Structure 1
Amino acid sequence: MRLVLPNPGLDLRIPNYEDLEKMEKEDGDRPKWDNKAQYILTCVGFCVGIGNVWRFPYLCQTHGGGAFLIPYIILLVLEGLPLLLLEFGIGQRLRKGSVGVWRAINPYLTGVGIASMLVSLLIGLYYNTLIAWIMWYLFNSFQGPLPWTQCPLNDNRTGFISECQQSSTVDYYFYRVTLNASASITDSGGLQWPIVICLLAAWTVICICYIRGISTSGKAVYVTALLPYVVLAIFLIRGLTLKGAMNGKLLSEGVEGTGLAFIVFTEAITKMPGSPAWSVLFFIMLLCLGLSTLFGNIEGVVVPLKDLNLFPKKWPQEALTGVTCLVSFIICLLFAQQSGLYWVTLFDNFAGSIPLLTIGLTEMIAVVYIYGIDRFNEDIKFMIGKKPCIFWQISLRFTSPLILLVILVFYLVTQAQQELTYLVWDPDYDEFPTLASVPYPSWINVVIFVLAGIPSLVVPVYALCRLVFVRCKKKMNQAKIFYFV
């Protein structure tokens, strides 16, 4: 006996296999990938982003080093891959965006698509801020020596700035020259106009590339998806040949995810011959990683907006993309303040944590127990010629949802027991240049609720609102019938 919840009207909301074949023949003018390689590289580019260079190594080091990879690989197999199969399979079967897919499965699940759209937007905001920082470093790499290789002179030109001498040239360049970071998230300090210009350039590039469609982005992925692996391999080989390769700065205290890309790597580059050329190559690599990820994020925002009919139907997708990027740029001015680094850290910690767990759990429950796992198996067989093996059956039905639920509960319990703190660059700190750990102000809980709570609650709130609407509409119709009778 298989448990499948009642879902009336499903067959009327989804196309049958004959309709899919007919759609395939009629969509001759629909933009398509030139070949499978472009599609695979696009998926790789979306999955492997800046976080793999900017954040993952830091998290790996601070959570046990090599031992961290053991649970990571286990969860990748038991959780990540089944969820990837589920999303790819159901998206390809229904041929809709995130809102359209879940609305077709059941109208009460439309909130899943809206939540996914919000998470894509929030992550895209601070990811493109990182691209703006990358552009700043890239522009400043075309000079020798590199500007972060030496401390600047003080105002009297009698010596070097003491703040730089107390820390290091790469630390000072990142925290003071690039970001001019304030000592608190409550001290905005005004806009950093070089970063504002870089943000404008970053959103302009994303907008233009996305508007050009897969005819352009499909060819660009040959560079954006492959170049990072070539460059990282070169850096790995070069790094292992340097003296003291086993005593890297990753082992030191105070290197955050952000610091890894913009401090540790930049310092390593200064020790390489022809450092400006290596710096240009490194930040072009980071730019490729960022752009390939942002293409997917923008797709995850624009398509659901179009499905929700929040804009006039006459608007072309290009106009919708332009509006989305313009609004995103305005919001990103928050990150261009002197306190912008701390806002990026806040978004990074909460925008993609609880919401992604709740969305993933809801998607698995929806496909397995509302759409029907047997129906999903037949869909996979229709598309690739065979059903998923026993591993996928066990994972999708039991293992993966249970693991997601356990992780979500433990995460919430752990966060509730911890004091919320963040690291700041404060020259007046007694242990400077170590970053000072300070508590967040109380009002930051409201921001955290916006980042993590609202996307998570969209799913049940939308379902509840729809239930109330349907019930009220039904009562009104009954009242009209009674009146005419």
Structure 2
Amino acid sequence: MCVGLERVRREKVPLSLILFVSSANVEWLAPFENMSSEIPLNRKPQIDEDQHSKSSGGEKQRGHWENPFDFFVSCLGYAVGLGNIWRFPFLCYQHGGGSFLIPYFVLLLVAGLPVFFLEVVLGQYAGVGPVKTFALLTPCLKGLGYGMVSVSALFTFFYIVVVSWSIWYLFASLGTSLDWSTCDQYYNLPTCVPVHGNATTITNATASVEEYWERYVLGFDQVDSWTHFGYPRWQSVGTLFLAWTMVAFSLIKGVKSSGKVIYFTSFFPYAILIILAIRSFTLPGAWMGIKYYLTPTWSHLLGFEIWVDAATQVIFSLGPACGCVITLSSYNHFQRNCQRDVILVALSNSLTSVFSGMVVFAILGFMAHTANKEMGEVVQDGPGLAFIVYPEVVAKMTGSNVFAALFFAMLISLALGSIFGGFETIITGLCDEFPTLRHHKSTLVVIISSVMFSLGLPFTCPGGIHMFNLFNESAPSWNLIIFALSEVVIVAFFYGTDKILDNIEEMGMTLNWFQRAYWTKCWKFATPLVLVVLLLAAWMNFGHIQYMNHFYPMWVQVIGYIITGSTLCWIPIFMVPTLIRSYHTTEFRTLLQPTTSWTGQSYDSCVK
């Protein structure tokens, strides 16, 4: 059960709630055996926030996922994002096609999966967000939880810009024609070449899709830079406001209100991806692109870079060290089989990346075929793939408006799924630290959304692409590696792998000898080694931030490191006072040990 008899007596839990919790304590797949009769098809995921029971401190209880499937859907929606669409395929191309899959899945087993599972276990066992989890697990490193929440805040702050760009393109796709396919717009240059034009007849020709993206959507010109940033553009401000409005309305009542859209944002991209796959696989040159994507170049496996990129993709794709995984799992029932969830989410995320790569390379194969170019000449990653390459390809298809609208609706859905997780991490962190805020969640959501929208106005300037690129490279950076490494070291060498494995079995999961050996060896040896190598590789790459093959000046690179450091500073901020207060009374090692409040479902510690 999620609550012990003593807690039931103390907190005066209603009899109906006890019966509900008792009946819910089953394997998580059991409710789906008779889905047609037990779970309506339109059932929305939500957290039991309607409980009227109170904790001993008089605060509203956090609740749990109502539907056993909700946690899996939420984690899947958070993990599967734009990186699966525009980063993974590019890495496959860069590192010899199918040969990249070997280090990817190897490092998934020894690094990605162990860190992901560890965070799910910590969140489910403690029943609180990252701030309180680490305050209870290791008081000296309470700042680690704050660092994770700050990463989620920065990520949500800049990642919403992708939604605003996608909204712009979605509206443009609803017209009678695609504006980026022609050169008769006011922003086009004399050297503009339309999608169906011939660039060989014009000197220094520029594609109409590039001019639409750079000169119209971004308002960007070659003179726009960090020293000529420009002013907010009303069109960009409008789409950014609409993006924040979507987030605020979706989360206005916490995770319960987001449950109305979480199934949509999680599964809608798969439906669109399948539709795009059916269309792209039938295009001329598609199989040339797929063959290029899957054909391995075994010599690449001998290089160091392919292993670093594979490990980076695995870690960043699953999304640990941002606090979101701990936040989502903290709403699980205590005896949920989260090990099964972790394996299914990680496998689904990886297979989504592989399938997305096939779709993307089928489209790129078609583009290379129609343009009579080599595959290497049409491959891009990041925003260039989503807002330049694909719009050009879709303009050449029959029914271009429909496929363009579907694609950008998919981008919006993918980005929102990740943003919801990050935003909920911020809210949960604040409410766990200040429980009285739990009664004012709606106001808190509106205030945070309004503040982030206001602070994000520089993204709407012509030079805003530089600011986005800087945050994209700096906010989720080597700080995440430090956070993940800290988690693993704390559990493996201070808390103890035997204790965490006992906690797992305390939550009702039975581990055989192989599973115990696998998790132990990974947490103690393999995972820390991979994370240390990644950290050293990141530090060796100092001053690497660039845009369009132009490196930013050193002062901008320093700002990037300040952004990264702003998430790390929380660790010494909380560690130093703790050490000073305990210098004459407590041994340092005890400050890395759990407090007496570290117990299963530790929510009571949050409201005392």
Both proteins in one fold, TM over 0.5: yes
Structure 1, unmatched stretches of 5+, are 1-14, 425-436, 475-485
1:440 lines up with 2:564 in the alignment: no
Counterparts in 2 of 1:153-172, with a 5 A limit? 153=185, 161-165=189-193, 166-172=205-211
Indicate how the Cα distance of structure 1 residues 269 and 314 shifts in structure 2: closer, same or farther if over 3 A, else same. closer
Verify the 8 A CA contact 1:59 1:257 in the aligned structure 2.
no
1:189 lines up with 2:230 in the alignment: yes
Verify the 8 A CA contact 2:253 2:441 in the aligned structure 1.
no
Task: Say which of 224, 233, 240 aligns to 2:265.
Answer: 224
Indicate how the Cα distance of structure 1 residues 20 and 36 shifts in structure 2: closer, same or farther if over 3 A, else same. farther
Match of 1:353 in 2: 477
TM-superposed CA distance for 1:31, in Å, is: 4.7
Match of 1:78 in 2: 110
Match of 2:79 in 1: 47
Match of 1:384 in 2: 508
Indicate how the Cα distance of structure 1 residues 56 and 211 shifts in structure 2: closer, same or farther if over 3 A, else same. same
Verify the 8 A CA contact 1:38 1:219 in the aligned structure 2.
no
TM-superposed CA distance for 1:107, in Å, is: 1.5
Verify the 8 A CA contact 1:138 1:284 in the aligned structure 2.
yes
Match of 2:532 in 1: 405
Match of 2:382 in 1: 257
Counterparts in 2 of 1:272-421, with a 5 A limit? 272-309=397-434, 316-387=440-511, 388-413=515-540, 415-416=541-542, 419-421=543-545
| Secondary structure class of the residue paired with 2:284 | coil
The code of the aligned residue for 1:171 comes to E
* Higher alpha-carbon deviation: 115-124 or 461-470: 461-470
Q: Deviations over 1:23-43 (max 9, x none)?
A: 895784555434222221111
Number of positions where the alignment pairs a residue of Structure 1 with one of Structure 2: 440
Counterparts in 2 of 1:93-172, with a 5 A limit? 93-153=125-185, 161-165=189-193, 166-172=205-211
| Secondary structure class of the residue paired with 1:87 | helix
The code of the aligned residue for 1:162 comes to P
| Secondary structure class of the residue paired with 1:191 | coil
How does the TM-score come out when normalised to structure 1?
Answer: 0.83
Structure 2, unmatched stretches of 5+, are 19-47, 53-61, 194-204, 290-364, 369-374, 587-608
Q: Deviations over 1:181-224 (max 9, x none)?
A: 14323321211221111111111111111123333322422221
The code of the aligned residue for 1:290 comes to A
- Determine the C-alpha separation between the residues in 1 that align with 2:155 and 2:107: 22
TM-superposed CA distance for 1:268, in Å, is: 1.9
The code of the aligned residue for 1:263 comes to I
Verify the 8 A CA contact 1:105 1:370 in the aligned structure 2.
no
1:463 lines up with 2:575 in the alignment: yes
- Determine the C-alpha separation between the residues in 1 that align with 2:96 and 2:109: 20
Percent of aligned pairs with the same amino acid: 32
The code of the aligned residue for 1:145 comes to S
Q: Deviations over 1:393-412 (max 9, x none)?
A: 21112211121112111221
- Determine the C-alpha separation between the residues in 1 that align with 2:552 and 2:270: 38
Q: Deviations over 1:219-246 (max 9, x none)?
A: 4222211121121122123212111223
TM-superposed CA distance for 1:366, in Å, is: 1.5
Verify the 8 A CA contact 1:94 1:101 in the aligned structure 2.
yes
* Higher alpha-carbon deviation: 23-32 or 87-96: 23-32
1:180 lines up with 2:219 in the alignment: yes
| Secondary structure class of the residue paired with 1:385 | coil
TM-superposed CA distance for 1:21, in Å, is: 7.8
Q: Deviations over 1:234-272 (max 9, x none)?
A: 212321211122334663268341111111221221122
| Secondary structure class of the residue paired with 2:550 | strand
Verify the 8 A CA contact 1:188 1:339 in the aligned structure 2.
yes
Match of 1:210 in 2: 251
TM-superposed CA distance for 1:153, in Å, is: 4.4
- Determine the C-alpha separation between the residues in 2 that align with 1:185 and 1:420: 16
- Determine the C-alpha separation between the residues in 2 that align with 1:274 and 1:253: 22
| Secondary structure class of the residue paired with 2:547 | strand
Task: Say which of 561, 568, 571 aligns to 1:449.
Answer: 561
Indicate how the Cα distance of structure 1 residues 381 and 448 shifts in structure 2: closer, same or farther if over 3 A, else same. same
Verify the 8 A CA contact 2:214 2:220 in the aligned structure 1.
yes
- Determine the C-alpha separation between the residues in 2 that align with 1:186 and 1:74: 45
Match of 1:69 in 2: 101
TM-superposed CA distance for 1:82, in Å, is: 0.6
TM-superposed CA distance for 1:375, in Å, is: 1.9
- Determine the C-alpha separation between the residues in 2 that align with 1:178 and 1:31: 43
The code of the aligned residue for 2:190 comes to S
- Determine the C-alpha separation between the residues in 1 that align with 2:283 and 2:184: 27
| Secondary structure class of the residue paired with 1:140 | helix
| Secondary structure class of the residue paired with 2:394 | helix
Q: Deviations over 1:149-181 (max 9, x none)?
A: 1112459xxxx6325332112111111111111
| Secondary structure class of the residue paired with 1:242 | coil
Verify the 8 A CA contact 1:99 1:110 in the aligned structure 2.
yes
| Secondary structure class of the residue paired with 1:365 | helix
How does the TM-score come out when normalised to structure 2?
Answer: 0.67
